[in-house]
Structure 1
Amino acid sequence: MLPATAAALAVLAALLAWPVPALLGRARWPRRDPLAALVCWQAIGLAGGLSIIGALLVHGLAPWGHSLPEATWHVLTGEPATGEVRGDHWVTLTLAGALAAELLGVLALSWWRTARTRRRHRALLEVVVRPAAAVPDARLLDTPAPVAFCIPGARPLLVLSAGMVAELDDAQLAAVVAHERAHLREHHHLYLLPFVAWEAALPVLPAAARAHAAVRTLVEMRADDVALAAVPGPDPRRTLARAIVAAGASGGGGVPTGALAAGGGAVTARVRRLLGPAAPLPPAVRAAVLAAAGLLLAVPTALLLLPAVA
């Protein structure tokens, strides 16, 4: 009934678990269009989860129907199976339920822990920071280390250290602030959350750590691109690069867990990218990349919802 569909989903899951993330992680084009690359990473993660859980479900429910919706309906309404129900069907159904529960549970737990940590850090910071005179919507932290970060959430907080304000000139400070505002405006923390959960749920899978690192770098590159439009002066790229180097000099020290910092995420690669920019992706190539991401989601969805291949 459904063996061909289950096999197709299993092959797709295997491809999305290792070779596809490895190829995307080594590709050079993502730095030319971080936003398109972020869309691709999200599609890979979601399509991979759908494929592996779907393959298990389709095999397990095969005795009850010719498609996943039909078989699910028969099970829910208590109709008897039309084929022989073997032990492997029960095993795969159990595995599908356990894997789905683990992935969704770890995602929910990661969101809850991250939100709780951010609330705690925000509450502590609000006690010690004061309004930054140079930046109206920012707060000043009295520490000599050059630190700049934002804490996203319902009440976002943008923090600059006294050391950062003292070290940067006005244009560089504007660059750092624009970078942090880009994180908050585009909700970059939501791009990261699924990959934090993926790495926590499947720590033995190399692709999980690779994907998390790649997405973290891409959100920083995307924030750099958005910030460039707000950087004053004749050479905004060099100005932003100098600000990033200054922010990265602290090595991440003083940045709370769950925050997004201007000095985080592959500082050397970001500076090289700013000082030696590659040409942006041609519109046709960008459209093809986005179409491929859409196709990645469409294929497992179609396999799960359409009648099975005989």
Structure 2
Amino acid sequence: MLPATAIALGVLAALLAWPVPAALARAAWPRRDPLVALVCWQAIGLAGGLSIIGALLVHGLSPWGHSLPEAWWHWVTRQPAQETVRGDHWVAQTLAAVLALELLGVLLLSFVRTSRTRRRHRELLELVVRPVPGEDTRLLDHPAPIAFCIPGARPLLVLSSGIVAELDGAQLDAVIAHERAHLREHHHLLLLPFVAWRAALPVLPAADRAHDAVRDLVEMRADDVALATLGCPDPRHTLAAAIVAAAGGAGGQVPEGALAVAGGSVAVRVRRLLAPAHPLPLVARAAALLGALALLLVPPLLLVLPAVV
């Protein structure tokens, strides 16, 4: 039973390592509902990790039992294997342990490193910024039009004097609403697993593709949240103009780890704002969310199924 489980998990891991992320990255529907697409990306990342580690673990422990709990218990208690233990079983066990430790370690390291970088940038900025009257933002004396936020336990929303001078009141409100959306919905946490995935598996093209797609989607999601809060006559044109203005002055000047209004693919975001597609139908949204849920459930079910049949 366990060899079949290992094969099923291996096939699922292969699909989630390349074809599925590639198809989702090329699809047009995520731009119509970034929030649902972000849920799908998180499901792909988590299910992919569980599948590859599970496949290796199941194959490595298969000589010790007919289900993973039984095989694991026999292996831990040093009971004799029920079948011949070959070298590939030991290799699979080792790879499963190494991959699990690497993925978790890189995720933790990315979190610590990013948090430290953000804290350092926040401390430096606090020395040179000043509060904006009536706002929970900070003003940075800089001629370029820049706007960004540094998330974390003590978030910081920064506007440059250049962007305050260049934008009108409605456009400035749109920029602030966009950055507050990042902070309120903790978009940095949605990006973190894909930063870690790219660092842990740099040779995997899907890792770069997934990171870039999620980065664009969090910006689109922040755009959508900002639009819902703006009271100006033409919020889409207002936000698009603000994004273009910020993109013209932010090149390379946003601190590492920050989320900026000019982040992601600016051209795609502006086209999406000025020529919006129809919202994703309720049936399609439900199907995508059910697909994400199924992805999350399949690896655990495959791992425990031999123990209950």
TM-score interval, normalised by the smaller of the two chains: over 0.9
Post-superposition Cα deviations, 1:107-136, rounded to whole Å, max 9, x if no partner, equal 111111000000000000000000012x51
5 Å matches for 1:200-219?
Answer: 200-219=199-218
In 1, Cα distance between equivalents of 2:69 and 2:297: 16
Query: In the alignment, what sits opposite 1:19?
Result: 19
Q: Please, what TM-score do these two structures have when normalized by structure 2?
A: 0.98
- The answer on 1:151 being equivalent to 2:114 is no
- The answer on 1:266 being equivalent to 2:272 is no
Query: In the alignment, what sits opposite 1:96?
Result: 96
- Unmatched segments (≥5 aa) in structure 2: none
In 1, Cα distance between equivalents of 2:154 and 2:250: 26
Contact 1:4 1:309 in 2 (8 A): no
Post-superposition Cα deviations, 1:267-286, rounded to whole Å, max 9, x if no partner, equal 11000000000011111110
- Counterpart AA for 1:101: L
RMSD after superposition: 1.2
- Counterpart AA for 1:248: A
Post-superposition Cα deviations, 1:216-251, rounded to whole Å, max 9, x if no partner, equal 000000000000012221110000100111111124
Query: In the alignment, what sits opposite 1:127?
Result: 127
- The answer on 1:254 being equivalent to 2:259 is no
5 Å matches for 1:66-85?
Answer: 66-85=66-85
SS in 2 for 1:149: strand
Which stretch shows the higher mean deviation, 281-290 or 81-90?
A: 81-90
Q: Please, what TM-score do these two structures have when normalized by structure 1?
A: 0.97
Q: CA deviation at 1:42?
A: 0.5
Which stretch shows the higher mean deviation, 52-61 or 77-86?
A: 77-86
Identity %: 76
SS in 2 for 1:306: helix
Query: In the alignment, what sits opposite 1:63?
Result: 63
Q: CA deviation at 1:309?
A: 10
Which stretch shows the higher mean deviation, 216-225 or 280-289?
A: 280-289
Query: In the alignment, what sits opposite 1:297?
Result: 296
SS in 1 for 2:148: strand
In 2, Cα distance between equivalents of 1:131 and 1:52: 49
Which stretch shows the higher mean deviation, 44-53 or 77-86?
A: 77-86
- Counterpart AA for 1:263: A
SS in 1 for 2:306: coil
- Unmatched segments (≥5 aa) in structure 1: none
